[in-house]
Amino acid sequence: MNKKLAIVTGANSGMGLATVIALAKKGLHVIMLCRNEAKGRKALEMAKEESHSSSIELMIADLASIESIHRFAGAFKAKYDSLDLLINNAGVVTLKRQETKDGFESMLGVNHLGHFLLTNLLIDELKRSDDGRVVIVSSGAHKWGKFDFDDPYFQKGFNVVKGYGRSKLANVWFMKGLAKRLEGTSVSVNALHPGAVATNIGVDRDTGFGKRFIKLLVPFFKTPEKGAQTAVFLATSERVKTSSGSYFYDEKEAPISKLAQDDELVERFWHWSEQQVGLN
């Protein structure tokens, strides 16, 4: 296959779907990685129609399940030898404390640990690309994020703001740790803040709770297409081909919090993450 190959997680709606369409319009072959097959199939048809491209496919993985991520990685490796772009876009917000199938607090589990495992399982395939790129969708919310290694999953004192900030700090730490490990390879990794985007991120994955609230906020937020612009920029622009280990907003490099810059914590968190997902 001569086309560049991209994977976009959380691709069935919002920014993920907008990213798929934008990449397909640029001539890439895009794998939409979705949790729900029925929603994924509906989004696949929409993406093909909007992009006027048939070079889009659906694959299934639940980032809240270690077993499901391994199953997807096996299926991908059986079909493809290399990967050019991995866009870690999927994200959840839970108003009440919830857990993944493996017992992780859901926001940290899906927004970070699921992507951490997925990315590490696909590193060899990314290294086979001449210009491999990992793009991590974080948020300005990382600036209020804090991490407690004694209570990483909020057994005590959970609230949605703290939980979301923690998961987005985790995204930046992951980006920094991965960039260090990829120095000297053909793979770069960067993170981004998409801005305030009207998506389904705050809608309960099982009950749909929160949809009316999101609709009320739509006029005040960026569209998913606008929110996806920086991710698409980092995935495709020649301007950032040699950039790695940076955080972007509106297609420009942006500052990160002091905590996010702490190299000792980046390393400690990397090893903690490996332990959680069984990589060490």
Residues with a known catalytic role: 164
Cβ-count burial 87-118 (b if 16+ within 10 Å, e if not) = bbbbbbbbeebbebeeebbbbbbbbbbbbbbb
| Neighbour tally for 277: CB within 10 Å | 21
Question: DSSP strand E in 1-159: where?
Answer: 5-9, 29-34, 56-60, 85-88, 132-137
Q: Name the residue among 52, 2, 61 with its Cα closest to residue 31.
A: 61
CA dist., res. 179 & res. 175, Å (int): 6
CA dist., res. 146 & res. 140, Å (int): 13
Amino acid symbol at 253? E
User: What's the first-to-final CA gap in the chain, in angstroms?
Assistant: 34
In 3-state terms, what secondary structure has residue 71?
Answer: helix
CA dist., res. 37 & res. 61, Å (int): 9
Cβ burial, residue 73 (10 Å; 0-12/13-18/19+): middle
